[in-house]
Amino acid sequence: MLLKVLLPKKVLVEEEVRKVVAEGKDGSFCLLPRHVDFVSALVPGLLAYETAVGKECYLAIDEGILVKCGAEVLVSTRNAAQGADLGQLQTVIREQFAELDERERQTRSALAKIEADFVRRFMEL
């Protein structure tokens, strides 16, 4: 099977795989090459896959959609992180969340300044 993990700005994974294990809204499931075509809404969590050479790989994904059609498995999500093992993946996720928290803080600060400026200008009228 060909696994493609699509993010808004890039293709994170495009690799031949033996199996894919993911978690949907109804629970965890496993896809093998001869599995019937399948569509599932994914919940935030881990997506595991076994490469064609037998290596187990992990992705942390945000909400998304998984579509298996023929020999192709497409996963579309807003955010995902890749790690060689679960320990490294945990470190990558912590770094990404710290970066997102900082961006949110800066955005909230800028929004507060805009709101204060709007109120000040409105009061001047």
69 pLDDT more than 80? yes
Q: How far is CA 69 from CA 37, 45, 94, in A?
A: 5, 22, 33
Q: Are 47 and 75 in contact (CB under 8 A)?
A: yes
User: Max CA-CA distance within the chain?
Assistant: 70
Which positions ≥6 away from 41 have C-beta within 8 Å?
24, 25, 63, 64, 65
pTM of the model as a whole: 0.73
Token pair listed for 13: 């994974």
Q: What is the pLDDT of residues 15-66, one digit of tens each?
A: 999 999 999 998 999 999 999 999 999 998 889 999 999 999 999 988 999 9
